[in-house]
Structure 1
Amino acid sequence: MPFVQIKKQYLAFAMLLFVALFLFNSRPAFQCQYTTEMPVSYLPTIYGITPTYARLAQKADLTRLSQTLMLVKNFHWIVIEDSETKTPLVANLLKESTLKYTHLNAKTHKSKQSTEMDVNICVFKLDSYFTRWYCASGVEQRNEALNWLRNHLSSATDKRGVVYFMDDDNTYSLKVFDEMRKIKNKVGVWPVGIVGGMRVEMPLVTDGKVSGYNAVWKPFRPFPIDMAGFAINATLFLDHPEAKFSRKVQSGFQESEILKYFATKDDLEPLAENCTKVYVWHTRTQKPSILDPKKLKHPPLPDGHIEV
């Protein structure tokens, strides 16, 4: 066979091979996508309940917290103002946050008795190196949020989720939200840093079960843990419509007041690696010290038109 004819045969074969490879590699991508697509994992909704009240650091605290919550998937923020009406400051902050939220308001009922005599509301409590009177806060606000939650869940198709009571000036690691999604039945618990006069207040765990509590402030409380140290299966609030906080309970006992409806110590589910990791801290914003412009030699320009 002549060399030229052999060369043409190889060239024709090479072209056919090239065309075949081209057509194979240019197939529409959607033809094989279904084989590599991974199923999406279900994430229970976290309902974060945050009472808040007007003060100079309110916007700063809510801004910091909201920007943490923006990183949490499937989160619904319920913010309740201690106010007769909803304020523009909180309303605008929530609107600009891009979070899924519900904005409520409920005014705290003030006692006519003196703080020292009203033992049902206030309690003498150790705080760092001195003692002071503490009054139960956020009672009406949290109860208003629970009313909304029950109405919402009763009409929702998916009633699953967890409820977490969050102070607006606490510090939260993203890991604490991952932990509370692991709740299987009733109530999940974990340590809280810088609370109750301790570096860390935490449940004690033996063989995977809560066996006691590491707390020094009134350790005889039914549940001597901080509000930031537990989350509750949302469906339990439908099972127990009577569950709420009480103005007749002292500060520091509100945690026990709400948990008594849902669980005993044996029902608590220790999370955060058997309560050995701290993912939330009971921090407090220090009250700002603002100078009185009237007492300054050179008072600053008026700034009442600026929201701080």
Structure 2
Amino acid sequence: MMENKFGTQWKLRFYALVVGLLIVSNMTTFMFTTRVLVAQHPNGLHHLTGSLNDDQNVTKVLEETTAIPDTKTIFVITPTHSCVTQKIDLNSMCHTLMSVQKVIWIIIEDSQKPTDLVTKLIQRCNVEIVHLAIPTSSDYRAEKGKPAHSKSRGVEQRNAGLNWLRENYSSHNCSGVFYFGDDDNKYDLRLFEDIHNTQIASVWKVAWVGGLKWEGPTCQNGRATSWHSVFETELREFPLDMAGFAVHLCQLMKHPEARIGVNIHGDRSKGGHLETDFLQHFANKSSVECRGSESETYVWHSKTSSPSLYGEKNGHSSKSVETR
């Protein structure tokens, strides 16, 4: 009888300890779930409207809430525009970035102001986020009757993301790496290890781009020995996709002239030359860091197919159910 009494007491103490650890776990997770929301300001793009602490979904196990090591921050710059697949693309990317340590996701909408759809999605995404909005000017809008890809898309949105970095960081505070991650791409988490390890500028292969299974560099001892591409390979210093490189934040501070759509001579980039013209501000073929795997790709230039909704001609489905 005495043994049962002591056994019960030890069990109660053990359960109390477990409950205490769970409480600490929730509190610790709460401290790491700060989100930043940035909206358009009448006098400029980069007005901080507030920050939110999200106490939802904070039941991570104790091992996942230990202090994050002192590593570089990864800034993922994502232009986005209203389309039938926008919600699912951003939602998919949110879940990818939730598995990445020390990441700040800069979302820039092609819009006069932040939309309700993206704002609501952000509130459910447990990632530190900067939310900007800037409409595409007539310079980069496709002419009537011409396909959208006849003009470079996302130029002004990506530059808005770069401007935000320059306004909020400096050459004395630039421990980070930035990467242009489109919302309709798909990512292997190993890619973010390569991004994190970037010292100046890194390049790697991207799948399903440029009419090829993959486009980008072949690496040897950390340097690019050749480039696999079929589009103007001889005319591009870096024949790669926008998803195929990352740059250290300090380099952005050293080169205030660097922006998407302008080459090193200050001239406007030709179509298909946005990536190489931008990357040339920071590196050349002999100095760029070659990363990734020789046998596989870590990022896919996928496109989410728009669904066939032929049955909706007569408004068959209820509009109260949000799908986009």
TM-score computed with the length of structure 2 as normaliser: 0.71
Distance 1:219 1:58 in 2: 32
- Deviation digits for residues 13-59 of structure 1, max 9, x if unmatched? xxxxxxxxxxxxxxxxxxxxxxxxx9974321000000000011100
Amino acid in the other structure paired with 2:207 = G
Match of 1:93 among 109, 114, 121: 121
Structure 1 residues 231-263: Cα deviation after superposition (integer angstroms, max 9, x where no partner): 001111111111101273233211012111111
For residues 133 and 140 of structure 2, the distance between their equivalents in structure 1, rounded to whole angstroms, comes to 22
Match of 1:165 in 2: 180
Relative to structure 1, the CA distance from residue 113 to residue 269 in structure 2 (aligned partners, 3 Å threshold; closer, same or farther) is closer
Q: Report the counterpart of residue 268 of structure 1 in structure 2.
A: 288
Cα distance change, pair 182–238 in 1 and its aligned pair in 2 (3 A): same
Inter-CA distance 133–67: structure 2 relative to 1 (3 Å threshold)? closer
Matched, 1:300 2:316: yes
2:241 is aligned with 1:213: no
What is the match of residue 258 of structure 1? 278
Q: Post-superposition shift, 1:212?
A: 2.3
Compared CA separation, residues 140 and 161, structure 1 to 2 (3 A): same
How far off its partner does 1:264 sit? Answer: 0.6
Aligned pair partner of 2:245 in 203, 218, 230: 230
Find the counterpart in structure 1 of residue 131 from structure 2. 103
**Which residue of 1 is the match for residue 62 of structure 2?**
none
Shift in CA distance, 252/307, structure 1 to aligned 2, threshold 3 Å:
same
Tell me what 2:254 maps to: 239
Q: Name the aligned partner's letter for residue 229 of structure 1.
A: G
* Secondary structure, counterpart of 1:235 in structure 2: helix
1:135/1:250 contact within 8 Å kept: no
Per-residue Cα deviation, 1:49-78 (whole angstroms, up to 9, x for no partner): 000000111000000010010000000000
The answer to whether the aligner puts 1:66 opposite 2:84 as a matched pair is no
SS in 2 for 1:168: coil
Q: Give the aligned residue type for 1:143.
A: N
Alpha-carbon distance between aligned partners in 2 of 1:218 and 1:149, rounded to the nearest angstrom: 31
Aligned-partner residue type, residue 135 of structure 1:
K
Mind listing any 5+ residue stretches in structure 2 that lack a counterpart?
1-65, 263-267
1 CA distance for matches of 2:203 and 2:261? 22
Q: Which has the higher contact order (CA 8 A, sep 6+)?
A: 1
Q: Which residue of the other structure, out of 290, 294, 306, is the alignment partner of 1:287? A: 306
Matched residue type, 1:218: E
Query: CA separation in 2, counterparts of 1:179 and 1:200?
Result: 18
Which of the pair has more CA radius of gyration? 1
Question: Partner of 1:141 in structure 2?
Answer: 157
| Residues 145/292 of structure 1: CA separation in 2 closer, same or farther (3 Å cut) | same
Number of matched pairs: 253
Residue pair 2:140, 2:151 contacting (<8 A) in 1 also: no
8 Å Cα contact 1:191/1:276 also seen in 2:
no
Q: 2:140, 2:208 → 1: CA distance?
A: 33
Q: Is the 8 A contact 1:189 1:270 kept in 2?
A: yes
- In the alignment, residue 274 of structure 2 is paired with which amino acid? Q
Q: Distance in 2 between matches of 1:181 and 1:61?
A: 23
Mapped to 1, the partners of 2:289 and 2:141 lie a distance apart of: 40
Query: Which one-letter code corresponds to 2:135 in the other structure?
Result: K
What amino acid sits opposite 1:245 in the alignment? Answer: I
Corresponding residue SS for 2:93: helix
Give the whole-Å Cα distance in 2 for the aligned partners of 1:99 and 1:40: 14
TM-score by length of 1: 0.75
Q: CA deviation at 1:180?
A: 1.4
Q: Supply the AA of the counterpart residue of 1:282.
A: H
Work out the percentage of aligned pairs sharing the same amino acid.
Answer: 35
- Alignment partners' CA distance in 2, 1:114 and 1:103: 25
Counterpart amino acid of residue 187 in structure 1 = A
AA at the equivalent of 2:177: V
**Aligned-residue offset at 1:307:** 5.2
Contact preservation (8 Å) 2:155, 2:261: yes
Displacement, 1:271? 1.1
- The answer to whether 1:54 aligns with 2:68 is no
- TM-superposed deviation, 1:286: 1.2
CA displacement, residues 84-121 of structure 1 (integer Å, 9 cap, x when unaligned): 11101111111210110100011111249974999xxx
Q: Distance in 1 between matches of 2:247 and 2:128?
A: 20
Alpha-carbon contact 2:103-2:128 (below 8 Å) kept: yes
